[in-house]
Amino acid sequence: MNKLALYCRIGFEKEVAAEITDKAAEQGVFGFARVQENSGYVIFECYQAGEADRLAREIPFNQLIFARQMIVVFELLTDLSAEDRISPIIAKFQEIQPHFNLKQSTEIWVETADTNEAKALSTFCRKFTVPLRQALREQGWLRFKEVKKSGITLHCFFLQSSACYVGYSYNANHSAHYMGIPRLKFPADAPSRSTLKLDDAILTFIPKEEESKRFTAEMIGVDLGACPGGWTYQLVRRGLFVYAVDHGKMAASLHDTGRIEHCPEDGFKFQPPKRKRIDWLVCDMVEQPSRIIHLITKWLVNGWCKETIFNLKLPMKKRYNEVQTCLQTLADALAHHQLKFRIQAKHLYHDREEITVHVQLKDANKG
């Protein structure tokens, strides 16, 4: 019970390894990340007993940028027979009984890595879930009808149909999505597929219960690099009026809403119209990360916006270091101007060679 399994986008295993090693060290936990390139996951082995469980509770999941899910796992179960995979899995779960109250379990997710090869197992996973859930219930586990925040989710992470890791994650500190992937529906009237990136970002960064207060019809947004309008669409859908900045063409359907003004200008030079206080700045321009950080800093420091979501395109190499440098530069600049802020960053499912960052300025009076 001394390993973490972390899921990620294929090709980002080294970034996850670097990140979990750093985050674990911050908690005084040391270990070794096993990386298999293009596998879609990383196993982090802790040197001391019980420490994987501690990391799963104490590393705030929303501070991990590259990991999609974080699970405490046991050693790999291999040679599972097609006739009876359930008995060894139940036996493994029984092993943790002395350490953990499985009566707190609320769900079982039978998962694979997000790679083409592993996904070939997804039909098997779906079918296997039914008898496994039944067998777990017979043990007196998975008794809750609703997902409890204080509970745990059980995981079977299949590498092949004959090999899986068995483990659990804390509902209060994990991705609430199966395989760490939100299932978002592409809105038929959205102007571009990249609309899902902002939808995913809002789902990830803004608590659901706050969404209707953080996006209102009284608010104004600016979208830098807006065309054809997928991100603007998400803001308009949530009620905002949006200045859409781009030399390109915006979708006619967005003009028809009467909730946008298209500004065919350079996003690096654009300034908010006079006497307008911008609530949300979003930015999806394909540019060097350092230029974007400089631009976002300018908006926040000048008080031009209160909250922002933007993308940082990742370089080919040293992606983890570049992300750390960019976020540190931003944090240092905001702190230098005595601003109180919260920064979150995530390699979202809909992000490829980029990450998405959210910054919220906090009212200094509220602390």
What's the CA gap between 367 and 100, in Å, rounded? 37
Residue 192 binding ligand SAM, by CB under 6 A: yes
Please compute, for residue 213, the number of CA atoms within 13 A of its CA located in the half-sphere on the CB side: 5
For residue 327, give the 3-state DSSP assignment: helix
Please compute, for residue 41, the number of CA atoms within 13 A of its CA located in the half-sphere on the CB side: 24
Tally of CB atoms within 10 A around 124: 15
- Cβ 106 vs Cβ 151: under 8 Å: yes
Beta bridge partners of 242: 221, 260
Residue with nearest beta carbon to ligand SAM: 230
284 has binding-site annotation: yes
Residue 31 binding ligand SAM, by CB under 6 A: no
Q: Candidates 31-39, 125-133, 188-196, 330-338: pick the segment binding ligand SAM (CB under 6 A).
A: 188-196
Residue 330 binding ligand SAM, by CB under 6 A: no
For ligand SAM, give the closer residue by CB, 180 or 267: 267
Residues that contact ligand SAM, how many (by CB under 6 A): 21
Residue 308 binding ligand SAM, by CB under 6 A: no
Query: How do strand 278-283 and strand 305-313 relate by DSSP bridges?
Result: parallel
Give least dist CB 289 to ligand SAM, A: 14
For ligand SAM, give the closer residue by CB, 82 or 188: 188
What's the CA gap between 13 and 20, in Å, rounded? 11
Give least dist CB 251 to ligand SAM, A: 8
Phi, psi for residue 358 in degrees, rounded to 5:
-125, 130
User: Which segments of 260-325 are extended strands (E)?
Assistant: 260-263, 278-283, 305-313
For ligand SAM, give the closer residue by CB, 131 or 315: 315
For ligand SAM, give the closer residue by CB, 19 or 246: 246
Residue 182 binding ligand SAM, by CB under 6 A: no
What's the CA gap between 356 and 163, in Å, rounded? 34
Which of 313, 317, 346, 362 is flagged as catalytic? 313
For residue 200, give the 3-state DSSP assignment: helix
79 has binding-site annotation: no
Give least dist CB 270 to ligand SAM, A: 8
For residue 13, give the 3-state DSSP assignment: helix
DSSP calls for 134-170: HHHHHTT-S--SS--TTSEEEEEEEEETTEEEEEEEE
Give least dist CB 285 to ligand SAM, A: 4
Quick one: tokens of 318? Answer: 């040293």
28 has binding-site annotation: no
- Cβ 348 vs Cβ 312: under 8 Å: no
Give least dist CB 120 to ligand SAM, A: 31
Among 62, 266, 288, 291, binds ligand SAM (CB under 6 A): 266
Tally of CB atoms within 10 A around 168: 25
289 has binding-site annotation: no
For ligand SAM, give the closer residue by CB, 153 or 308: 308
Site for ligand SAM in 197-256 (CB under 6 A): 225-231, 245-248
Tally of CB atoms within 10 A around 240: 24
Residue 268 binding ligand SAM, by CB under 6 A: yes
Say which residue the tokens 């394909």 belong to: 286
Where does residue 82 fall: left (phi above 0), alpha (psi -120 to 50 degrees), or beta otherwise?
Answer: alpha
Give least dist CB 293 to ligand SAM, A: 15
351 has binding-site annotation: no
Residue 285 binding ligand SAM, by CB under 6 A: yes
Give least dist CB 104 to ligand SAM, A: 41
Q: Candidates 71-79, 161-169, 260-268, 350-358: pick the segment binding ligand SAM (CB under 6 A).
A: 260-268
What's the CA gap between 48 and 225, in Å, rounded? 49
Concerning whether 366 is annotated as a catalytic residue, the answer is no
Binding residues for S-adenosyl-L-methionine are 194, 227-230, 246, 266, 284
Contact residues: ligand SAM, CB under 6 A: 191-192, 194-195, 225-231, 245-248, 266-268, 284-286
Binding residues are 194, 227-230, 246, 266, 284
Catalytically annotated residues: 313
